Amino acid sequence: MKQIQCSFDLKIIFLYLVVTLFSCQQNNAQNSVASSDFVASDFALAKDQYQLLLGSRDFPRTLDTAGRVVGTDEWDWTGGFFPGALWYIYEYTKDPEVKANATIWTEKLEKAKDLTQHHDIGFVMYCAYGNALRLETNPDKIKQYQQILVHSAQSALKRFDPKVGLIKSWNEKASWDGKTVWKYPVIIDNMMNLELLFFASELTGDPKYKHAAISHADHTLKNHFRSDYSTYHVVDYDPNTGAVAHQQTNQGYADNSTWSRGQGWAIYGYTLLYRETREDKYLEAAKKAADFYMNHPNLPKDRVPYWDFNAGQQGYWPDVDYSNRKLKVIPRDASAAALVSSALLELSTYTSGADAKRYFDFAEGTLKTLSSSEYLAKRGTNGGFILKHSVGSMPHQSEVDVPLIYADYYFLEALLRYRNLAKAL
């Protein structure tokens, strides 16, 4: 009897394992379908929404209080995001009409290859022309776009002073404290402009662009991060000695707080630095900045952060008077969530095991939140933009709880990265 019972038990166990394996495979297949469904649905919406924005005369940026589209010229830092988003929509849909519009809006930016008034030529030119180069097949256009981007990189270097070792973000500017004037301000956002410089060195073989980018990244790594890997928004340098003069904020709540989108720029920026150099110090910075963001006790459960992690908290002392703002809630920033989800998906590919899984899972959860009705616009609404509830700058009372073009851009980029990674799982 013992032998018969043992044989019977083994058969039961075997059948259980087979059924469990089949069930897991079905669940994985269902999850894969569900994932592709929300990505497909989001891109279908994006294509329809951007048909509305194509009617704009200028580069769409946001909505005003009356719900009208606010546009900019090519000299604004956000100009490249609309054509860049069109390229992402084309990459997913393969619709030739979308490509034609992406080309038109990209080429409208050409004059900005001479942009030297501020540091954001990387945002403006590489988000548009960089994506165009990935997807364009016409050899004449490819050559033209390459030349434009190299010209843009040369313009970017005009704001790099070897004595300081960084690209100057803005011209002389007063801080919120009413007494400090920044002489050589560098903001954490500037990390995002370095990709253009790496591209230029790779294309031309001239290392001067890459060397400037690495110098900038190294100084930022040293001076923008606190011991817990939260970030200052602005670090001001002495233009004569290169010494740090001030560590403050321009768009965050307080000098000692952590502006959510700024933390996102840091995560994304050091992830791309690791991609371009394979230096472990940059990967470590990206991971620690990401861990600060992901594990912060003030991050809401849906993973869409408040505009600043420390807004309204004791121990943080803003120079801006917020007492008359009369806000019922602390605004969220979907642009920070979209940006971080894109960065984490790339970061997951440079890590392994539990780290890779938690970065991927966090990004996936964020994208699903952003794809919900709370943040995703309904067709024909939101002025044609895709995401709702972003914040441009609370201290300036500018673009609060509105759609922002760069939120859409990084959301679409993240969706593409997610789709490509999910396919490989």
Which of the residues are catalytic? 120, 189
SS3 category, 72: strand
3-state secondary structure of 287: helix
Rg, C-alpha atoms of the chain = 23
Record the tokens describing residue 342, joined without a space.
């894109």
Alpha-carbon span 80 to 107, nearest angstrom:
10
> Nearest CA to 42 among 378, 344, 374?
378
Contacts with 84 (C-beta within 8 Å, 6 or more apart), sequence order: 127, 128, 130, 131, 409
Residue for token digits 């307080």? 254
Which residues share a beta bridge with 390? 402
H/E stretch holding 246 reads strand 244-248
DSSP H or E segment with residue 401 = strand 398-402
The half-sphere exposure of 210 on its side-chain side, counting CA atoms within 13 A, is: 16
